[in-house]
A and B are shown apart, each in its own frame.
Chain A
Amino acid sequence: MLLNTENTAKPPRRITGRQIEYLILTALVALTLSLLFVMGFFSHAMAETNDSKPQRFAGYVRPNDMGAGALLFPSKEPGSFVEAPRLATDVVIDVNGPIIRTRVTQRFQNPSKGWVEGTYVFPLPENSAVDTLKMQIGDRFIEGEIKAREEARRVYEEAKAEGKKTALLEQQRPNIFTNQVANIGPGETIVVQIEYQSSVHQSGGEFSLRFPMVVAPRYNPDPIVQTVDLDVKTGYAVNDPVPDRDKIAAPVLDPTENAKINPVTLTVNLNAGFPLGTVTAPFHQTDMQTVDDMARRISLKGGSVPADKDFELSWNAIAGKTPNAGLFRETQNGKTYLLGFVTPPAASAATETPAKREVVFVIDNSGSMAGPSIEQARDSLALAISKLKAEDKFNVVRFDDTMDVHFPSLVPATPDNRENAIAFVRGLTADGGTEMLPALEAALRTQGPVEPGALRQVVFLTDGAIGNEAQLFEEISKNRGEARVFTIGIGSAPNTHFMTKAAEIGRGTFTLIGSEDQVAARMGELFTKLENPVMTDIAVSFDGANAQDITPNPMPDLYRGEPVVLTAALDGASAAGKLQIIGKTGNQPWRIEMDVAKASEGKGIAKLWARRKIDDLEANAYAVNDAAALDKQIETVALANHLVSRVTSLVAVDVTPSRPAGEPVVSTDMPLNLPEGWDFEKMFGENPQQAIPEGQRKASLERSEQQASLIADRMAAAPTARAASVIADAGKQVDLPQTATLADRNILIGLLLLAFALMAATTFSLWRWQLRGLVLEARDRVR
């Protein structure tokens, strides 16, 4: 029909037809362009709103970034903190035999003109127990008391509401705690003192300790990210609330300068309990004094620049005097606590031929391993397989929500088989769910009996993102048999709790591989262990003493150079009897006896025992159905030993000596008198002087003032103490995820596009038919 009407069009309309043609075409192009523009604009706006979180502005930190003790104040950037100026740090480490007691005293300042609530963070070394917290805020003294977590929090909140100085130290995860400090007044100085206990690390005759000192990356000028928030209704963006953000230039503080401003003094009183050989601090310059042949006094060299490394100190005995056993005890509340260590004879083991091994590798290729994790796992596993010896046997199991056992049974590690398995591993991709249990069952149960004299080892590579830990633990403890389970944690945030515990139940070890460049080194360490177990089947018993709670339980295998370290609680204040440790080196039984009565006195053993006991209780949570009862048990142990744990916290109570009424109020900078038993004198003297020339000193003072005013600029201080607590709470807020899908938008845009396409198609067909009409017409005319 259309055709007909067009056919009847008169010649003069031809030009108008052309024009219409072009017009329509132009309109089409314009419409398409504008549509594309709108779409691009949408996605652009989205990208900006999603990204609007400030990307770590210079000078701002987060609690998890801290590598050394620091006091953090809420900043003007929500969720970020600024570090309080650290005026001085003093560390005293007392080493008595196997026990380390560390006291850290740090002095900070509130440089602002308002009130703040701060958070003190301190990274603790492994397995340490915090038991003491003392603080001075302005002219008030507060001291931590151990209380059940809930009660402690209540006390803290009440004191805070009343405007009192108060502090609360809670454990977030093992070895991570936070200490909130409320009601810090303008310009006030804060002194924090914490004490914790840990044990000396021993390996291969070397004894060592570590103190965290890494300064977090601060004052690195980061790019400023300008954020644009488009108003949903108007489509306009409001200007950035801090217009001159880029003028707050980030000063680059180099560590040398920082050290002069924030002096650190560190003293180690080393009392090894045996004649000392060499004592070294590999990363720092130290002064060393010899007290006697068993004791040293080590201090950081005055003015030495703290390296960007934790402080480490290692020592050993003079040749031939390396202790191979030790027993220490402490009596507390009618109980005797024992700490024993034994280094088994290594010489005989070295001459023996290494045992044959039967290794079952289990690799997790579930979706949570996607990205760098699976690459690390593949590399680690390929390396492990390539290191097998020809007389070893092995198999590979991979699992996600399905699983494959690569060889039907254990196969000899011939070059062909190794190649084959490595190719299989290299081809793995990460996808699907995490069904660990069947894989574990396959590894533990279906690989046939262990050959006499061989070592069965199950090596498990995973990120441990699973929910049924209890079941897995049960499976391991029931079916491990002769096998040893070694876990390798992959990725940046593996479930270390699961893997540590799985390895413990499986009498193996846990290895953490955090990044690609650690693969070779960490796996190397593990292989040495796997190849050289010195002693297996270790058991501890007491003869003639009623022993409870020997930890660890079960005892792990020993590898070259490692000692057995055990703690135990015995009934009675004057325990007697014998401690027996039995084990097997190769096929040869080994046995040692120690007389409990001859143990030397040591301090802090009860606390060490309590810490390990709590660890054991936490770790056995999978076997206890009643969570409340477990919490109660932990609480009892923790309260009795004044320890911070998951269910107990230290809450600080004001213990300031009251000032006689008639006495004039003196300067608040210097306290009148210290509470008894307080040892802050280092903190009250002037900063340790290192005979700095006048000019330099002035310059450094100026710099420190500069730094202080800079920090004050960024702090979100409040005019009153109460407002400060509101700000602090806001700083700890939870970020909410994006909770709008693009479904509606997609549908809407889709419908718009469809409508547009329909319209365009109609126009096009009209145009097309018109064109056709013109062509026909032209043909007619030619005829």
Chain B
Amino acid sequence: MSDKPGNDAILEHDKPGSDKQEPIKEGRAGFLARLNALETVVLAGILLIALAGVMLVGKGFYMKAKAEFSQVLLKRSFEAQLQGETNAKPWPWADFSTEAEITALRIGKTAVVLAGASGEALAFGPARLSNTPVPGELGTSVIAAHRDTHFRWLKDVKQGDLLVITRKDGTNLTFRAGTSRIARWDESGINANAPGRNLVLATCWPFDAIEQGPLRYIVNAELVEDAGPSTLAAQGEPGKLPVKSF
């Protein structure tokens, strides 16, 4: 440090003229250099903390942006799949496949559902747990998604709401939401082989918590066997369906 001209100028005042710079300019030009060891450490610490903060905020927003943007791509590939393209991939290096689209009619939200709820898939969209049947098949199908992105709207689903699932084979299925409850993730009480054709939507609870916790919010739904106007509407007038992805 002592070899830095600015430092010398201050600490060794018997050689004030050794520096070419004017004393008034010193405050600006040699700011860093004029700090002693302790001060440098403190400043570096502050900078590090600030950097960590920026990174964390950036990472958080990146996760959210990824979730939003991927849904657009997923939607595109899912539509291609509906057109009969079997090998549609949302992006070339994606290692999972789209399976269905879920629409909450009253709330006006829709999202593309992936197959297999690995942590990776969940970052991009809601996913059906691979150990449960496909929606509309016998048993209870479970679709899970993040509470802070794709299933942010799940708390607004009320008893009696209609949920439309468009499967990749083009089938439209209407489910009616029933009761909702809160359970631990490993005590969900969901039986994949339960009688009937059921759908369960699950996300984390409490909704506004900032930590990951063991509790899950579970909405039960049952297939409306005699798919009436809602399904027809969904089939006939796609324009009426909400376009926004979340």
Which residue numbers of A lie inside 8 Å of B, CB to CB? 3, 25, 28, 32, 35, 42, 45-46, 49-50, 52-53, 78-79, 149-150, 153-154, 157, 170, 229, 232, 366-368, 400-402, 431-435, 437, 465, 467-468, 470-471, 729-730, 732-758, 760-761, 764, 768, 771, 775, 779, 782
Interface residue from A431, A736, A740, A782 paired with B142 (Cβ < 8 Å): A736
When the two chains form their complex, are residues A470 and B86 in contact, meaning their CB atoms are under 8 A apart? yes
Bound form: Cα–Cα A431–B53 in Å: 31
User: A739 and B144 in contact (CB under 8 A), knowing A45-B211, A78-B186, A745-B211?
Assistant: yes
When the two chains form their complex, are residues A735 and B186 in contact, meaning their CB atoms are under 8 A apart? yes
Interface of chain B residues 66 through 80 with chain A (CB within 8 A): 67
User: Shortest beta-carbon distance, B117 to chain A, in Å?
Assistant: 5
Interface of chain B residues 195 through 240 with chain A (CB within 8 A): 195, 202-204, 206, 209-214, 216, 218
Interface residue from A400, A748, A771 paired with B93 (Cβ < 8 Å): A400
When the two chains form their complex, are residues B148 and A733 in contact, meaning their CB atoms are under 8 A apart? no
When the two chains form their complex, are residues B212 and A730 in contact, meaning their CB atoms are under 8 A apart? no
User: A753 and B145 in contact (CB under 8 A), knowing A78-B187, A739-B216?
Assistant: no
When the two chains form their complex, are residues B189 and A764 in contact, meaning their CB atoms are under 8 A apart? no
Interface of A, helix, strand, loop or mixed by DSSP: helix
On chain B, the residues within 8 Å of A755 by CB distance are: 53
Bound form: Cα–Cα A467–B96 in Å: 8
User: A750 and B53 in contact (CB under 8 A), knowing A52-B186, A733-B189, A739-B146?
Assistant: yes
Interface residue from A366, A733, A754 paired with B57 (Cβ < 8 Å): A754
On chain A, the residues within 8 Å of B60 by CB distance are: 742-747, 750
Interface residue from B57, B97, B185, B218 paired with A746 (Cβ < 8 Å): B57
Bound form: Cα–Cα A52–B187 in Å: 12
Interface residue from A32, A232, A467, A468 paired with B211 (Cβ < 8 Å): A232
Interface residue from B47, B67, B132, B146 paired with A734 (Cβ < 8 Å): B132
Interface residue from A45, A53, A743 paired with B148 (Cβ < 8 Å): A743
User: A775 and B53 in contact (CB under 8 A), knowing A729-B194, A734-B188, A734-B190?
Assistant: no
When the two chains form their complex, are residues B55 and A46 in contact, meaning their CB atoms are under 8 A apart? no
Bound form: Cα–Cα A437–B145 in Å: 31
When the two chains form their complex, are residues B13 and A779 in contact, meaning their CB atoms are under 8 A apart? yes
When the two chains form their complex, are residues A232 and B191 in contact, meaning their CB atoms are under 8 A apart? no
Interface residue from B49, B142, B146, B147 paired with A757 (Cβ < 8 Å): B49
Name which residue of chain B comes closest to A735, CB basis.
Answer: B186
A739-B146, A746-B63, A750-B54 known; 10 other A-B pairs, CB under 8 Å?
A35-B49, A435-B92, A732-B193, A733-B187, A743-B61, A743-B149, A744-B148, A747-B56, A750-B57, A757-B49
On chain B, the residues within 8 Å of A782 by CB distance are: 13
Bound form: Cα–Cα A757–B55 in Å: 13
User: A741 and B123 in contact (CB under 8 A), knowing A401-B89, A433-B93, A736-B188?
Assistant: yes
Interface of chain B residues 1 through 27 with chain A (CB within 8 A): 10, 13, 27
Asked if B160 lies at the interface with its beta carbon under 8 angstroms from chain A, I say: no
User: A730 and B209 in contact (CB under 8 A), knowing A432-B93, A739-B147, A761-B46?
Assistant: no
When the two chains form their complex, are residues B53 and A742 in contact, meaning their CB atoms are under 8 A apart? no
14 A-B interface contacts by CB (under 8 A): A49-B214, A53-B186, A232-B209, A432-B93, A433-B89, A733-B188, A734-B190, A745-B211, A746-B60, A747-B56, A750-B55, A750-B57, A753-B50, A782-B13
Interface residue from A49, A433, A470 paired with B94 (Cβ < 8 Å): A433
User: Shortest beta-carbon distance, A437 to chain B, in Å?
Assistant: 7
Asked if B122 lies at the interface with its beta carbon under 8 angstroms from chain A, I say: yes
Bound form: Cα–Cα A779–B206 in Å: 61
On chain B, the residues within 8 Å of A52 by CB distance are: 186, 214
On chain A, the residues within 8 Å of B131 by CB distance are: 734
Name which residue of chain A comes closest to B31, CB basis.
Answer: A768
On chain B, the residues within 8 Å of A401 by CB distance are: 89, 92-94
User: Shortest beta-carbon distance, A318 to chain B, in Å?
Assistant: 51
User: A741 and B148 in contact (CB under 8 A), knowing A49-B213, A751-B57?
Assistant: yes
When the two chains form their complex, are residues A735 and B185 in contact, meaning their CB atoms are under 8 A apart? yes
When the two chains form their complex, are residues A764 and B123 in contact, meaning their CB atoms are under 8 A apart? no
When the two chains form their complex, are residues A757 and B46 in contact, meaning their CB atoms are under 8 A apart? yes
**Which of A154, A367, A738, A751: most chain B Cβ within 10 A?**
A738
Asked if B129 lies at the interface with its beta carbon under 8 angstroms from chain A, I say: yes
Name which residue of chain B comes closest to A775, CB basis.
Answer: B10
Interface residue from B86, B186, B218 paired with A471 (Cβ < 8 Å): B86
When the two chains form their complex, are residues A737 and B115 in contact, meaning their CB atoms are under 8 A apart? no
User: Shortest beta-carbon distance, A363 to chain B, in Å?
Assistant: 16
On chain B, the residues within 8 Å of A465 by CB distance are: 95
When the two chains form their complex, are residues A743 and B63 in contact, meaning their CB atoms are under 8 A apart? yes
Bound form: Cα–Cα A769–B55 in Å: 30
On chain A, the residues within 8 Å of B46 by CB distance are: 757, 760-761, 764
Top 10 A-B pairs ranked by shortest CB distance?
A: A750-B56, A753-B53, A750-B57, A747-B60, A757-B50, A746-B60, A754-B53, A740-B204, A743-B63, A467-B97
